[in-house]
Amino acid sequence: MSTNSQDQEIDLGQAFQKIGGIFQLLVDKLFDGILFLKRNSIYLGVLLVTGVIAGYFMDKTNKSYIHEIIVSPNYGSVDYLYAKVALLDSKNKENDTVFFNDLGFKNLKNFYGIEIEPINDIYKFVDGKPQNFDLIKLMAEDGDIKEITVDQVTSKNFPFHLITFSTGENTNEDEIVKPLMNYLNSSTYFEAIKEQYIENQKEKLAANDSIIKQIDNLINEFSNTVSGGSKSDKLVYYSDNNQLGEIIGTKNNLIAEQGTIKMNILNNDKIIKEISTALNSKDTRGLNGKMKLLLPVLFIFVFLILAVLKSFYKYQLAKRNLN
């Protein structure tokens, strides 16, 4: 028993010695690092200032602007829209300037590409559309609602989509936006559908206007009859024309429908409807505008790597000379 106790005490003593040695090594390395920073403080300061200045001028000269267009595809043209944007991005990567020039694009020297994504708005998706609500409800029973809303098939059917492209300098609507929207609306098939839809809506407007005028004439006739008759005649007339309230209700419904039809014409006058445009916002994605912070860190990091390699080289050289 006494032998085992002594062995355990020896093992614990050795463990504490190892821990103490490791701690002392860390202290020595820390002190070596402090001495290194002290010896090279001038170099590190120069690298820091140089990196900040160089990064500042790089941020100032290498400008990047981001541009966003919110669009609403009509007549079931969502897949068509995404295919069109994908083609533009592909042609840009191929540097096909002839293709863009034929479309009317201008000043594309610093055109960095284009992409599109749906604007996730589940409330707008189901607003006034019971079938969409039922669809989301049904799909939610078998999965997470968040996953469903970001699913490519579901999200493509959201009403609004965001087109994003970036350039190296300021642009305007005439240079890129108008040619882009003209290109997106250049489908013979969807143009025919649009024209027929607008024609149908206008015919519906005209038909409703005619019905409203007829109702107005009936109301005027009723008003004239009542105002010219006796009190008993009015009571008889009211009794015989108990459908007058329904007629007035029909007129009100038609007026509301006229407003809806006019809004439909307004919102569907383009295959791809431009909702809003925001141009020339400073692009701060990725490393854009951050070089004044990145370069000093990079310079100092490279200096430290070189210092470590130099120390390693000297150590190995001295070790071989001893051998």
Q: Is residue 18 part of a domain?
A: no
Whether 185 and 270 have beta carbons less than 8 Å apart is answered as: yes
Q: How many structural domains are present in the chain?
A: 1
The answer to whether residue 149 sits within a structural domain is: no
From first to last of its 323 residues, the chain has per-residue pLDDT tens of: 455 555 555 566 666 667 766 777 777 778 777 777 788 888 888 888 888 888 777 777 767 888 999 999 999 899 999 999 999 999 988 888 889 888 888 877 677 888 999 888 765 665 656 665 666 565 556 655 565 555 666 677 788 999 998 888 888 888 888 999 999 999 999 999 999 999 999 999 999 999 999 888 887 877 776 565 544 454 445 444 556 778 888 889 999 999 999 999 999 999 999 999 998 888 767 666 677 888 888 888 888 888 888 877 777 777 777 66
Give dist(CA 113, CA 108) in Å, integer: 10
Range of the domain at 212: 193-267
Does residue 235 form part of some domain?
yes
Please check whether residue 114 lies inside any domain of the structure. no
User: What SS3 state is found at 15?
Assistant: helix
Nearest to 198 by CA among 248, 268, 142, 118: 268
What single-letter DSSP state applies at residue 158? S
Residue 68 lies in a domain: no
Residue indicated by tokens 């029909």 = 250
Tell me how crowded residue 195 is: count the other CB atoms within 10 A of its CB.
10
